[in-house]
């Protein structure tokens, strides 16, 4: 088995020398255990902040994969079936079933299994729960989402459109802007090239925003708060612009907007609604099959390229979900 180890904690943007590829000899699976072979691995933004709080140097990098059960001594996971597992960056894993979920039993043949790490997986659920449980969007409302061309953001915009909202998105390249327009976003801008974020947000929705799905943090967040409507709602999902900071930002919090606009802001983690996951994944899959949801992927080939895929995603190389195919 091959594994990627965190050699030392990342300081600032991840460096190749922070990670090390190691070979590992796996034992035979015991009763109750399975041997898994990774097929697709996910690289996600959370790996950067979690590596600091959940990992020690020498640990295998944290992460989820779609894996095939190649040997089974656990009847819950028959040989040949596929699972989504929190196995970390490994090609092969011995597991007693903890942290493994079967891919939906009625997963259609023509839908790539990699989507179980993207639009029909954790990022898709994040989009759905953020919109339905946290923001409780209503038809006719205007929803703002940043990092809009990514795994979560692209699904946020599409679901909000399905539910009758006006959607404004921002992304970091003109190609991403074009992609989001194809998806049906009402207004999209490249946050890297607009002369003024405030003007771009005003032009996109002169009357302001009822709902804001926040993925980025920093300057964007502050400016977006100033454009919220009275009693606007904000779902704080992520803060990717902050993850590589060496020191936590201590800049002033935009208090006055929160008070005078009477804003309601809630941070959330996708795991809160785990009990609904199976039903929710089926809903996402139904939208996909009906052609109402597109799940684009950015695929890097080769387990050896996990660090490159991870760094590329943090730098915005991906449109849609960043995936590694072993």
192-200 long-range contacts, CB within 8 A, separation 24+: 197/223, 197/224, 198/223, 198/226, 198/227, 200/170
Contact 182, 170 (CB under 8 A): no
Among 93, 126, 142, 280, binds ligand NDP (CB under 6 A): 126
Contact 32, 73 (CB under 8 A): yes
Question: Interface with ligand NDP includes 87 (CB under 6 A)?
Answer: no
In the complex, the smallest distance separating the C-beta of residue 117 from ligand NDP, rounded to whole angstroms, is: 10
Residue (193 or 230) nearer to ligand NDP, CB: 193
Among 14, 29, 34, 45, binds ligand NDP (CB under 6 A): 45
Question: Interface with ligand NDP includes 273 (CB under 6 A)?
Answer: no
Among 85, 123, 124, 307, binds ligand NDP (CB under 6 A): 123
Quote the strand ranges of the chain, DSSP E. 2-6, 19-23, 34-42, 65-72, 82-85, 92-95, 100-102, 142-145, 166-171, 187-190, 209-214, 228-236, 264-267, 297-301, 321-325
* Residue ranges in 159-188 that form contacts with ligand NDP under rule CB under 6 A: 171-173, 176
Residue (29 or 238) nearer to ligand NDP, CB: 238
In the complex, the smallest distance separating the C-beta of residue 28 from ligand NDP, rounded to whole angstroms, is: 36
Calpha distance 295→118 (Å, rounded): 7
Question: Interface with ligand NDP includes 294 (CB under 6 A)?
Answer: no
Calpha distance 188→197 (Å, rounded): 12
Angle, helices 197-204/218-226, rounded to nearest 10 degrees: 50
Q: Which stretch binds ligand NDP (CB under 6 A): 67-75, 87-95, 265-273, 289-297?
A: 265-273
* Residue ranges in 49-78 that form contacts with ligand NDP under rule CB under 6 A: none
Question: Interface with ligand NDP includes 14 (CB under 6 A)?
Answer: no
Task: Measure CA 144 to chain center.
Answer: 17
Question: Interface with ligand NDP includes 121 (CB under 6 A)?
Answer: no
Among 46, 50, 107, 273, binds ligand NDP (CB under 6 A): 46
Among 269, 274, 302, 304, binds ligand NDP (CB under 6 A): 269
């Amino acid at each position: 088995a091959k594994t990627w180890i965190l050699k030392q904690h990342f300081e600032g943007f991840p460096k190749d020398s922070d990670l090390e590829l190691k070979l590992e000899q796996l034992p035979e699976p015991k009763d109750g255990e399975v041997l898994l072979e990774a097929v697709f691995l996910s690289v996600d933004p959370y790996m950067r902040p979690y590596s600091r709080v959940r990992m020690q140097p020498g640990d295998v990098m944290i992460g989820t994969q779609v894996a095939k059960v190649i040997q089974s001594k656990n009847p819950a996971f028959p040989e040949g079936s596929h699972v989504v597992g929190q196995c970390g960056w490994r090609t092969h894993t011995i597991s007693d079933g903890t942290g493994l979920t079967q891919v939906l039993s009625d997963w259609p043949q023509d839908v790539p299994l990699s989507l179980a790490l993207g639009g029909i997986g954790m990022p898709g659920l994040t989009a759905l729960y953020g919109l339905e449980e946290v923001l409780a969007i209503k038809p006719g409302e205007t929803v703002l989402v940043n990092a809009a061309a990514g795994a979560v953001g692209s699904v946020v915009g599409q679901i909000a459109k399905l539910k009758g909202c006006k959607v404004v998105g921002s992304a970091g390249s003109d190609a991403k802007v074009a992609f989001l327009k194809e998806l049906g976003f009402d207004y999209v801008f490249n946050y890297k090239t607009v002369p003024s974020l405030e003007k771009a947000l005003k032009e996109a929705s002169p009357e302001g925003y009822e709902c804001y799905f926040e993925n980025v943090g920093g300057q964007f967040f502050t400016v977006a708060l100033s454009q919220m409507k009275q009693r606007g709602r904000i779902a704080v999902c992520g803060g990717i612009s902050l993850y590589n900071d060496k020191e936590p930002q201590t800049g002033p919090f935009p208090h006055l907007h929160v008070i005078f606009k009477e804003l309601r802001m809630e941070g959330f983690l996708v795991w809160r609604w785990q009990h609904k996951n199976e039903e929710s994944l089926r809903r996402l899959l139904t939208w996909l099959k009906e052609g109402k949801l597109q799940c684009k992927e950015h695929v890097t080939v080769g387990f050896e390229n996990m660090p490159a895929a991870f760094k590329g995603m943090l730098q915005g190389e991906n449109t849609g979900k960043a995936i590694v195919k072993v």
